[in-house]
């Protein structure tokens, strides 16, 4: 096969950051994806519809001419989120839902949720209005091993939450474990999950063996190979509960290569090509269109894309760095060769 055409894909989990970085991050995703769910963990966080619309306007200013890229805004769930705020979100077509960050779980999550159970009236409203809840699924208790935090969160927080609110529309973001795969499969059609390229292509050996590789460090952290294999099988299974979400997260090189390096993989410069690389490895290129273009749109209730995008078999090397307003960034898979490239 020398070329592969598929409907314009969507990225259902994307970090663009703000201000000067938008000039780099927005075009990188807009040239590939038709729609993207924009994460709200700015400083300060995006907690209201008004703030989200202001942020969206800043994003749209950086969309290249001719692109129809549609940013769909997530609001940051806090202990101060109200039922009225849920109703406001339900009435705004460009707001896709609320993002639940357990406080301290990842970058800019200090304002996140500290008591899930105390927000039950908010979750009830989200279920009533069918406003999706997008979940970073990890506990943050110091005594819980970092490699177990996703499983513990599922068992102690998500299962009880969905038992109390069985109609809640929920996406477990960037899943990393076989436990998460099993959980999502066991739930109704209102529960789905996104999977990143790094969690499909790597396991914790790729971050730790032969020296620490900070540009492969992300949260939730890479897990054992057996968990990677479970994610791989979920992605190629044809199960509509699993779909593309890059979690592309830009950080300056000096922030990653530091004594306390930050978490996140900036995959946007090669996102779709990375997924194509994985699906070809698995002998499942015929499953890429559903995973990248169909299942996420179906879950969120959007029309499937009619425009197409073509990948051609052409060897190219992911750049070692990308110049940005905050200095050089090292993209995920930097310096490595990919066999598929988006046709201009």
User: Would you say 251 is a known binding-site residue?
Assistant: yes
User: Would you say 174 is a known binding-site residue?
Assistant: yes
Closest CA to 278 of 334, 228, 320, 241: 228
Q: CB-based burial of residue 124 (10 Å sphere; 0-12 exposed, 13-18 middle, 19+ buried)?
A: middle
Catalytic residues: 247
**Distance from C-alpha of 332 to C-alpha of 287, rounded to nearest angstrom:** 23
Which DSSP symbol is given to 102?
A: B
C-alpha angle 100-16-48 in degrees, rounded to nearest 5: 45
**Distance from C-alpha of 327 to C-alpha of 343, rounded to nearest angstrom:** 28
User: Would you say 13 is a known binding-site residue?
Assistant: yes
3-class secondary-structure state, position 322: strand
User: Would you say 134 is a known binding-site residue?
Assistant: no
Residue 95's H or E segment, with its range, is strand 95-100
User: Would you say 294 is a known binding-site residue?
Assistant: no
User: Would you say 41 is a known binding-site residue?
Assistant: yes
User: Would you say 272 is a known binding-site residue?
Assistant: no
User: Would you say 164 is a known binding-site residue?
Assistant: no
User: Would you say 227 is a known binding-site residue?
Assistant: no
Q: CB-based burial of residue 203 (10 Å sphere; 0-12 exposed, 13-18 middle, 19+ buried)?
A: buried
The sign of the torsion formed by the CA atoms of 119, 121, 127, 129 equals negative
User: Would you say 35 is a known binding-site residue?
Assistant: no
Binding-site positions for Zn(2+) read 13, 15, 99, 136, 174, 247
Binding-site positions read 13, 15-17, 41, 99, 136, 174, 219, 247, 251, 263
Binding-site positions for substrate read 15-17, 41, 136, 219, 251, 263
């Amino acid at each position: 096969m020398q070329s592969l055409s598929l409907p314009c894909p969507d990225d259902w989990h994307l970090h663009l950051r703000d201000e000067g970085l938008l000039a780099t991050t927005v075009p990188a995703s807009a040239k590939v994806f038709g729609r993207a769910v924009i994460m709200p963990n700015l400083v300060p966080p995006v907690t209201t519809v008004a703030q989200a619309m202001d942020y969206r306007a800043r994003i749209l200013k950086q969309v290249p001419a001719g692109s129809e890229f549609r940013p769909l805004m997530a609001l940051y769930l806090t202990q101060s989120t109200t039922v009225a705020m849920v109703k406001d979100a339900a009435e705004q077509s460009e707001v896709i839902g609320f993002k639940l960050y357990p406080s301290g779980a990842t970058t800019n999550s200090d304002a996140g949720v500290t008591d899930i159970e105390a927000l039950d009236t908010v979750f009830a409203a989200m279920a009533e209005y069918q406003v999706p809840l997008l979940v970073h699924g990890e506990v943050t208790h110091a005594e819980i091993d970092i490699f177990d935090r996703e499983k513990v969160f599922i068992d102690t927080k998500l299962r009880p939450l969905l038992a109390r609110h069985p109609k809640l529309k929920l996406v477990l973001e960037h899943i990393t474990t076989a436990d998460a795969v099993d959980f999502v499969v066991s739930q109704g059609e209102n529960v789905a999950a996104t999977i990143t390229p790094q969690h499909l292509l790597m396991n914790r050996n790729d971050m730790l063996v032969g020296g620490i590789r900070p540009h492969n460090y992300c949260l939730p952290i890479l897990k054992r190979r057996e968990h990677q294999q479970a994610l791989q099988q979920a992605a190629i299974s044809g199960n509509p509960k699993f779909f593309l979400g890059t979690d592309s997260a830009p950080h300056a090189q000096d922030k990653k290569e530091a004594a306390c390096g930050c978490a996140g993989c900036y995959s946007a410069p090669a996102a779709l090509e990375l997924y194509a690389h994985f699906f070809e490895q698995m002998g499942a290129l015929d499953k890429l269109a559903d995973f990248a273009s169909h299942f996420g749109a179906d879950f969120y209730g959007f029309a499937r894309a009619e425009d197409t995008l073509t990948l051609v078999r052409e060897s190219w090397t992911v750049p070692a760095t990308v110049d940005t307003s905050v200095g050089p960034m090292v993209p995920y898979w930097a310096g490595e060769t990919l066999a598929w490239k988006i046709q201009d």
